[in-house]
Amino acid sequence: MNKMLPTVGIIANPVSARDIRRIVAHAGNLQVTDRANIVLRLLAGLGAVGIRQVLMMPENAGIRHHVTRDLKRSVNMGERRFPDVDYLDMAVTASTDDSVRAARMMREARVSAIIVLGGDGTHRAVVSACGDVPIAGVSSGTNNAFPKFKEPTIVGLAVGLTAMGAVPPEVAFQSNKMLEVDISGRKEIALVDVAIVAERFVGARALWHTENFKELYVSFAETEVIGMSVVAGILDPVDRKTPEGRRVVFDNSNPPRHLLQAPIAPGVIADIGIDYWEVLLPDVAFPIAEKEGSIALDGERELSFSKNDQPTVTLRTNAFRTIDVAACMKSGAKTRLLRIN
């Protein structure tokens, strides 16, 4: 790769959106060809604004095969609308570790930005390793509370304009909150929500039973998303920029103190009992009230804890950067960056 030219990274998770919620809920499942087509639309947007080099995460599900075939076809037709695509030299495990390692390697390669194709879990994995490299998300998971639905072509254009330095940093980049979980010194992050569940076993990981929910911590709470964070959104919304979050305590008694309906998975609207909710202030380590159980990060149970662990949850502000696609496109239009003459 020519180090003098800006390079954009793409991490396309081939196994996102394949948890148990795809069976128990009315959710779709993106096929490999659909994921490959999304990548090609991203590449078209990047190429249109001058990006000539892209670095991708390898995988064994078939995305690479379909993308390579279409890129060769484009070259054979004499087109130059796609950037050159290189792949990271890394082993593939078909697990979350691939996204973490790819993000770390892209950071070390000094890419200008990373485009992430996946759901909340994939984005969390990338953020854990990308450092100060800004990311842009394309939704393809079960829960997409963090990555908003955007046309990949537009994402490619916006990221390309940013990588080329055509949009001022103060316009292009947005700072984001996250949640930090500490269990006896072991730290993990969540981009949207941390849910505390009574059972200690991780099991199928994905959350779709509500009767054992105990607490919920959110970095932001919107009303038009799927997943646990919508519970806080219905109770007391908070946007992505306000430097505070929310804590919700569940009530599983009959009848509960408060009762609401929430869309916790595609096509699944659950009745949920609530005791109370409160503001979660930044940089304050909040002790989890439950003595033992499991912790779900962005909708998936990842950790278990006992009475000896004393886990805490802390809201962090200015934790990582994303590319504001809408702001970049508005800037490009205003300054005529997308006009040929």
If one looks up domain 177-318 in CATH, what number appears?
A: 2.60.200
| Alpha-carbon dihedral sign for residues 218, 224, 226, 231 | positive
Please state the pTM of the whole predicted model: 0.91
Domains of the chain, by residue range, sit at: 7-176+320-334, 177-318
Cα distances (angstroms) measured from residue 15 to each of 154, 162, 178, 251, 304: 24, 28, 24, 34, 24
The residue length of the chain stands at 341
Highest mean pLDDT: which range of 20-29, 215-224, 260-269: 215-224
- The pLDDT of 57-75, averaged and rounded, is 94
Q: What value does the mean pLDDT of the chain take?
A: 90
The C-alpha atoms of residue 253 and residue 95 are separated, in whole angstroms, by 38
Q: Which two tokens stand for residue 121?
A: 């879990």
Q: How confident is the model at residue 198 (pLDDT cuts 50, 70, 90)?
A: confident
The C-alpha atoms of residue 225 and residue 232 are separated, in whole angstroms, by 11
**DSSP per position, 219-251:** S-B-SS--STHHHHHHHS-B-SSSS-EEEEEE-
Domain 7-176+320-334: CATH superfamily, name plus number: Probable inorganic polyphosphate/atp-NAD kinase; domain 1 (3.40.50.10330)
% pLDDT > 70, the chain: 91
The C-alpha atoms of residue 271 and residue 258 are separated, in whole angstroms, by 10
Q: How confident is the model at residue 16 (pLDDT cuts 50, 70, 90)?
A: low
Q: How many CA atoms lie within 13 A of 285 on its CB side?
A: 10
pLDDT confidence of residue 149: 87
- Considering only 119-128, 261-270, 272-281, which range has the smallest mean pLDDT? 261-270
Q: pLDDT digits over 281-298, tens only?
A: 999 999 999 999 999 999
H or E element: which one contains 269? strand 268-280
pLDDT confidence of residue 21: 46
Q: Which two tokens stand for residue 236?
A: 């007391």
b/e sequence 19-41, b meaning 16+ C-beta within 10 Å: bebbeebebeebebeebbbbbbb
The C-alpha atoms of residue 77 and residue 119 are separated, in whole angstroms, by 35
Q: pLDDT digits over 115-131, tens only?
A: 999 989 999 999 999 99
Q: How confident is the model at residue 207 (pLDDT cuts 50, 70, 90)?
A: low
Does residue 255 contact residue 230 with C-beta atoms inside 8 Å? no
Query: Which among 227, 282, 196, 168 is positioned nearest to 19, based on CA atoms?
Result: 227
Is residue 203 scored above 70 in pLDDT? no
More confident residue, 299 or 129: 129
Is residue 146 scored above 80 in pLDDT? yes
More confident residue, 141 or 313: 313
pLDDT confidence of residue 23: 43
The C-alpha atoms of residue 61 and residue 140 are separated, in whole angstroms, by 15
Q: Which amino acid is at 78?
A: G
Q: How confident is the model at residue 69 (pLDDT cuts 50, 70, 90)?
A: very high
Is residue 39 scored above 90 in pLDDT? yes
Does residue 192 contact residue 146 with C-beta atoms inside 8 Å? yes
pLDDT confidence of residue 24: 47
The C-alpha atoms of residue 291 and residue 68 are separated, in whole angstroms, by 52
pLDDT confidence of residue 2: 46
The C-alpha atoms of residue 75 and residue 84 are separated, in whole angstroms, by 10
Q: How confident is the model at residue 174 (pLDDT cuts 50, 70, 90)?
A: very high
